[in-house]
Amino acid sequence: MSDLGAILAVSGPRASGKVPVATDTGVDGPVAAVDGVGGGRLGPDGLVRCPWGMSTPDYVAYHDEEWGRPVRDTVGLFERLSLEAFQSGLSWLTILRKREGFRRAFAGFDPEVVAAFGEADVERLLLDASIVRNRRKIEATVVNARAILALERPLEELIWSFQPDTSARPVPRMLADVPAQVPESVALAKALRKAGLVFVGPTTSYALMQACGLVNDHLADCFARGAAGG
Protein backbone atom coordinates (compact mmCIF):
# COMPACT_ATOMS: atom_id res chain seq x y z
CA MET A 1 0.00 0.00 0.00
CA SER A 2 1.39 3.40 -0.93
CA ASP A 3 2.27 5.94 1.72
CA LEU A 4 0.05 9.01 1.43
CA GLY A 5 3.00 11.26 2.09
CA ALA A 6 4.99 9.85 -0.84
CA ILE A 7 2.84 11.21 -3.65
CA LEU A 8 4.73 13.37 -6.13
CA ALA A 9 3.44 16.66 -7.48
CA VAL A 10 1.95 16.46 -10.96
CA SER A 11 1.77 19.50 -13.22
CA GLY A 12 -0.09 18.30 -16.29
CA PRO A 13 -2.48 20.31 -18.40
CA ARG A 14 -6.21 20.29 -17.93
CA ALA A 15 -8.23 18.46 -20.54
CA SER A 16 -9.15 21.82 -22.05
CA GLY A 17 -5.91 23.64 -21.39
CA LYS A 18 -7.87 26.86 -20.74
CA VAL A 19 -11.58 26.73 -20.01
CA PRO A 20 -14.07 23.87 -19.70
CA VAL A 21 -14.76 22.22 -23.02
CA ALA A 22 -18.33 21.81 -24.21
CA THR A 23 -19.08 19.52 -27.13
CA ASP A 24 -22.86 19.15 -27.26
CA THR A 25 -24.87 21.12 -29.80
CA GLY A 26 -27.07 23.32 -27.67
CA VAL A 27 -29.35 23.94 -24.71
CA ASP A 28 -33.01 23.64 -25.63
CA GLY A 29 -32.26 25.04 -29.07
CA PRO A 30 -29.52 26.39 -31.35
CA VAL A 31 -26.95 29.02 -30.49
CA ALA A 32 -25.73 31.79 -32.76
CA ALA A 33 -22.61 33.89 -33.08
CA VAL A 34 -22.87 37.56 -32.19
CA ASP A 35 -21.31 39.13 -35.25
CA GLY A 36 -18.96 42.06 -34.80
CA VAL A 37 -18.93 41.93 -31.02
CA GLY A 38 -16.82 39.03 -29.83
CA GLY A 39 -16.68 35.30 -29.43
CA GLY A 40 -19.81 34.95 -27.32
CA ARG A 41 -22.82 32.98 -28.47
CA LEU A 42 -26.45 33.98 -28.27
CA GLY A 43 -28.57 31.34 -26.60
CA PRO A 44 -32.26 30.59 -26.96
CA ASP A 45 -32.90 32.55 -23.75
CA GLY A 46 -31.54 35.70 -25.38
CA LEU A 47 -28.34 35.84 -23.30
CA VAL A 48 -24.85 35.93 -24.77
CA ARG A 49 -22.46 33.49 -23.12
CA CYS A 50 -18.96 32.13 -23.52
CA PRO A 51 -19.30 29.28 -26.07
CA TRP A 52 -18.22 26.59 -23.59
CA GLY A 53 -21.06 27.59 -21.26
CA MET A 54 -23.76 26.74 -23.78
CA SER A 55 -23.82 23.00 -24.31
CA THR A 56 -25.60 21.38 -21.37
CA PRO A 57 -27.69 22.55 -18.41
CA ASP A 58 -24.76 21.62 -16.14
CA TYR A 59 -22.43 23.95 -18.01
CA VAL A 60 -25.01 26.73 -18.25
CA ALA A 61 -25.55 26.74 -14.48
CA TYR A 62 -21.82 26.52 -13.72
CA HIS A 63 -20.99 29.29 -16.19
CA ASP A 64 -23.83 31.59 -15.16
CA GLU A 65 -23.74 31.16 -11.38
CA GLU A 66 -20.25 30.13 -10.35
CA TRP A 67 -17.31 30.29 -12.78
CA GLY A 68 -15.35 33.47 -12.22
CA ARG A 69 -17.18 34.47 -9.03
CA PRO A 70 -14.78 35.19 -6.14
CA VAL A 71 -14.18 32.33 -3.70
CA ARG A 72 -12.38 33.45 -0.55
CA ASP A 73 -12.88 30.68 2.00
CA THR A 74 -10.68 27.70 2.81
CA VAL A 75 -13.33 25.05 2.23
CA GLY A 76 -14.40 26.52 -1.10
CA LEU A 77 -10.84 26.80 -2.35
CA PHE A 78 -9.92 23.32 -1.11
CA GLU A 79 -12.92 21.89 -2.96
CA ARG A 80 -11.96 23.60 -6.19
CA LEU A 81 -8.30 22.64 -5.89
CA SER A 82 -9.39 19.04 -5.38
CA LEU A 83 -11.86 19.01 -8.26
CA GLU A 84 -9.28 20.55 -10.60
CA ALA A 85 -6.91 17.72 -9.69
CA PHE A 86 -9.55 15.06 -10.23
CA GLN A 87 -10.44 16.63 -13.58
CA SER A 88 -6.96 16.10 -15.01
CA GLY A 89 -7.37 13.88 -18.07
CA LEU A 90 -11.16 13.98 -17.91
CA SER A 91 -13.90 16.35 -19.06
CA TRP A 92 -15.02 19.02 -16.62
CA LEU A 93 -18.59 17.87 -17.24
CA THR A 94 -17.72 14.53 -15.64
CA ILE A 95 -16.58 16.35 -12.51
CA LEU A 96 -19.62 18.61 -12.38
CA ARG A 97 -21.97 15.65 -12.58
CA LYS A 98 -20.12 13.88 -9.76
CA ARG A 99 -19.72 16.98 -7.61
CA GLU A 100 -22.25 16.07 -4.95
CA GLY A 101 -20.67 12.64 -4.73
CA PHE A 102 -17.28 14.25 -4.15
CA ARG A 103 -18.75 16.46 -1.44
CA ARG A 104 -20.22 13.47 0.38
CA ALA A 105 -17.07 11.40 -0.01
CA PHE A 106 -14.75 14.14 1.26
CA ALA A 107 -16.86 15.45 4.14
CA GLY A 108 -17.84 18.65 2.37
CA PHE A 109 -14.13 19.29 1.75
CA ASP A 110 -13.50 20.17 5.37
CA PRO A 111 -9.68 19.98 5.52
CA GLU A 112 -9.64 18.95 9.18
CA VAL A 113 -11.84 15.92 8.49
CA VAL A 114 -10.10 14.92 5.26
CA ALA A 115 -6.66 15.28 6.84
CA ALA A 116 -7.60 12.51 9.26
CA PHE A 117 -8.39 10.03 6.47
CA GLY A 118 -6.23 6.92 6.49
CA GLU A 119 -5.66 3.95 4.22
CA ALA A 120 -9.03 2.43 5.14
CA ASP A 121 -10.73 5.59 3.92
CA VAL A 122 -8.77 5.49 0.68
CA GLU A 123 -9.86 1.90 0.10
CA ARG A 124 -13.46 2.87 0.88
CA LEU A 125 -13.37 5.72 -1.61
CA LEU A 126 -11.93 3.47 -4.30
CA LEU A 127 -15.23 1.57 -4.13
CA ASP A 128 -17.36 4.73 -4.32
CA ALA A 129 -18.83 5.00 -7.83
CA SER A 130 -20.10 8.51 -7.13
CA ILE A 131 -16.57 9.92 -7.50
CA VAL A 132 -13.59 9.43 -9.81
CA ARG A 133 -11.92 6.33 -8.40
CA ASN A 134 -8.26 7.15 -8.90
CA ARG A 135 -5.96 6.19 -6.04
CA ARG A 136 -3.34 8.87 -6.65
CA LYS A 137 -5.93 11.63 -6.82
CA ILE A 138 -7.73 10.40 -3.71
CA GLU A 139 -4.46 10.20 -1.82
CA ALA A 140 -3.46 13.62 -3.13
CA THR A 141 -6.64 15.12 -1.68
CA VAL A 142 -5.69 13.78 1.74
CA VAL A 143 -2.12 15.03 1.39
CA ASN A 144 -3.39 18.46 0.40
CA ALA A 145 -5.77 18.65 3.35
CA ARG A 146 -2.88 17.96 5.70
CA ALA A 147 -0.72 20.55 3.95
CA ILE A 148 -3.48 23.16 4.21
CA LEU A 149 -3.73 22.62 7.97
CA ALA A 150 0.03 23.11 8.24
CA LEU A 151 0.08 26.42 6.35
CA GLU A 152 1.47 29.44 8.17
CA ARG A 153 -1.42 31.55 6.89
CA PRO A 154 -4.94 30.74 5.64
CA LEU A 155 -5.20 29.08 2.25
CA GLU A 156 -7.33 31.93 0.90
CA GLU A 157 -4.71 34.47 1.92
CA LEU A 158 -1.98 32.49 0.20
CA ILE A 159 -3.88 31.94 -3.04
CA TRP A 160 -5.26 35.47 -3.37
CA SER A 161 -1.80 36.94 -2.81
CA PHE A 162 -1.03 35.74 -6.35
CA GLN A 163 -3.93 37.53 -8.01
CA PRO A 164 -2.70 39.05 -11.28
CA ASP A 165 -2.93 42.79 -11.88
CA THR A 166 -6.29 42.77 -13.60
CA SER A 167 -5.95 46.37 -14.78
CA ALA A 168 -3.11 45.30 -17.06
CA ARG A 169 -5.04 42.38 -18.57
CA PRO A 170 -6.81 42.88 -21.89
CA VAL A 171 -10.41 41.71 -21.91
CA PRO A 172 -10.61 38.46 -23.91
CA ARG A 173 -12.86 38.74 -26.96
CA MET A 174 -12.38 35.19 -28.29
CA LEU A 175 -11.54 31.89 -26.60
CA ALA A 176 -8.16 32.05 -28.33
CA ASP A 177 -7.41 35.16 -26.24
CA VAL A 178 -7.64 33.18 -22.98
CA PRO A 179 -4.23 31.91 -21.78
CA ALA A 180 -3.58 28.46 -20.36
CA GLN A 181 -1.31 29.90 -17.68
CA VAL A 182 0.25 33.19 -16.62
CA PRO A 183 3.39 34.05 -14.62
CA GLU A 184 1.28 34.41 -11.47
CA SER A 185 -0.14 30.90 -11.86
CA VAL A 186 3.38 29.54 -12.27
CA ALA A 187 4.38 31.31 -9.06
CA LEU A 188 1.24 30.10 -7.26
CA ALA A 189 1.90 26.50 -8.26
CA LYS A 190 5.46 26.81 -6.98
CA ALA A 191 4.26 28.22 -3.66
CA LEU A 192 1.62 25.52 -3.22
CA ARG A 193 4.13 22.77 -3.97
CA LYS A 194 6.62 24.32 -1.55
CA ALA A 195 3.87 24.19 1.09
CA GLY A 196 3.44 20.46 0.46
CA LEU A 197 0.43 20.42 -1.87
CA VAL A 198 0.42 18.11 -4.89
CA PHE A 199 -1.33 17.94 -8.29
CA VAL A 200 -0.94 21.73 -8.54
CA GLY A 201 0.85 22.64 -11.75
CA PRO A 202 0.75 26.08 -13.41
CA THR A 203 -2.17 25.20 -15.71
CA THR A 204 -4.23 23.75 -12.88
CA SER A 205 -3.39 26.83 -10.80
CA TYR A 206 -4.58 29.10 -13.58
CA ALA A 207 -7.80 27.11 -13.94
CA LEU A 208 -8.26 27.66 -10.20
CA MET A 209 -7.72 31.39 -10.69
CA GLN A 210 -10.36 31.42 -13.42
CA ALA A 211 -12.89 29.41 -11.44
CA CYS A 212 -12.43 31.36 -8.21
CA GLY A 213 -12.48 34.89 -9.56
CA LEU A 214 -8.82 35.87 -9.30
CA VAL A 215 -9.09 36.60 -13.02
CA ASN A 216 -12.13 37.29 -15.18
CA ASP A 217 -11.91 35.27 -18.38
CA HIS A 218 -15.54 35.58 -19.40
CA LEU A 219 -15.47 36.95 -22.92
CA ALA A 220 -16.10 40.65 -23.55
CA ASP A 221 -19.67 40.17 -24.73
CA CYS A 222 -20.63 37.48 -22.19
CA PHE A 223 -23.45 38.61 -19.94
CA ALA A 224 -21.77 37.02 -16.89
CA ARG A 225 -18.62 39.10 -17.17
CA GLY A 226 -20.01 41.94 -15.08
CA ALA A 227 -20.83 39.63 -12.18
CA ALA A 228 -17.47 37.84 -12.14
CA GLY A 229 -14.33 38.78 -10.25
CA GLY A 230 -10.89 39.66 -11.50
Catalytic site positions = 62, 84, 92
Cα dihedral sign for 87, 92, 93, 99? positive
